[in-house]
């Protein structure tokens, strides 16, 4: 029997995202701000802040992700709350060439409802924020960092996992007040990694399996 396993090596993720015991933690800092710091995001001149209900106003929009430094390894993230399909590469007609694989970003967005896909290429600003809020109010699950702020799906999920998150709030849900693994006697944590609230974002890179990876992520596969 042949099985495939994926190991995601992120260039500099583990250097930027230190183990919990080694990094300085700010329990009051929202996840998006922690992630911006870890990935080296910077707000470009003239960019507008994303108006995310329930989250700090300091989150920047249109953020750019850069990772450098030492190499590390992070396992492909398969959420304990889902059972990702292994997929099937059924051959097409004999006279049809195989379709080229999608990028991890294209695969992520292709899996979203059509109404949500409209957010992908919208410019940052009030109109995009209003659409995200409208979609969230209709019951769609909106990932603030990826869908509204435009961050890369795979790298965002890898960074979240490195911080110990198994889920994060969707657009409009209450922000996480204390980072996983952090104890604050003056601020009881509202985060339970084993109990994701309905409508929250499950941390997983299952969508990226079998795709063209982010240039900052190297995927090696072995068969036995």
For residues 169 and 59, what is the distance between their CA atoms, to the nearest angstrom? 14
Task: Tell me, yes or no, whether 95 lies in a domain.
Answer: no
On whether residue 91 sits in a domain, the answer given is no
pTM metric for this prediction: 0.61
Using CA atoms, how far apart are residues 201 and 198, in angstroms rounded to an integer? 9
Write out the residue range of the structural domain in which residue 57 sits: 1-84+101-224
What's the number of domains the chain is made of? 1
pLDDT tens-digit series, residues 79-129:
766 544 344 444 555 566 777 789 999 999 999 999 999 999 999 999 999
Asked if residue 166 belongs to a domain, the reply is yes
Tokens describing residue 102: 């999608």
pLDDT category, 40, cuts 50, 70, 90? low
Which residues contact residue 118 at a Cβ distance below 8 angstroms, ignoring those fewer than 6 apart?
A: 131
In a domain, 90, yes or no: no
Looking at the domain assignment, is residue 63 inside a domain?
yes
CA distances (Å), origin 80, targets 167, 194, 203: 10, 9, 9
- Residue at 92 is within a domain: no
Cα separation of 214 and 192, whole Å? 30
Q: d(Cα 204, Cα 207) in Å, to the nearest integer? A: 8
Residue 47 lies in a domain: yes
User: What is the sign, positive or negative, of the torsion defined by CA atoms of 125, 56, 26, 170?
Assistant: negative
Q: What is the tens place of the pLDDT at every residue in 72-87?
A: 444 566 676 654 434 4
């Amino acid at each position: 029997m042949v099985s495939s396993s994926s190991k995601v090596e992120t260039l500099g993720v583990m250097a930027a995202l230190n183990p919990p015991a080694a990094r300085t933690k700010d329990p009051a800092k929202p996840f998006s701000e922690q992630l911006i710091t870890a990935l080296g995001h910077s707000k470009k001149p003239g960019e507008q802040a994303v108006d995310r209900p329930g989250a700090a106003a300091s989150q920047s929009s249109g953020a750019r992700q850069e990772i450098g430094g030492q190499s590390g390894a992070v396992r492909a993230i398969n959420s304990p709350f889902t059972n990702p399909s292994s997929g099937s590469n059924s051959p097409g007609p004999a006279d049809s060439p195989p379709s080229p694989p999608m990028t991890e970003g294209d695969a992520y967005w292709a899996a979203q409802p059509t109404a949500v896909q409209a957010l992908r290429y919208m410019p940052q600003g009030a109109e995009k924020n209003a659409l995200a809020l409208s979609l969230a109010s209709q019951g769609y699950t909106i990932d603030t960092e990826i869908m509204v702020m435009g961050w890369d799906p795979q790298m965002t999920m890898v960074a979240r996992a490195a911080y110990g998150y198994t889920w994060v709030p969707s657009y409009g849900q209450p922000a996480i007040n204390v980072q996983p693994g952090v104890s604050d006697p003056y601020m009881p944590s509202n985060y339970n990694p084993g109990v994701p609230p309905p409508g929250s974002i499950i941390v997983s890179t299952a969508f990226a399996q079998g795709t063209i990876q982010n240039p900052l992520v190297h995927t090696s596969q072995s068969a036995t």
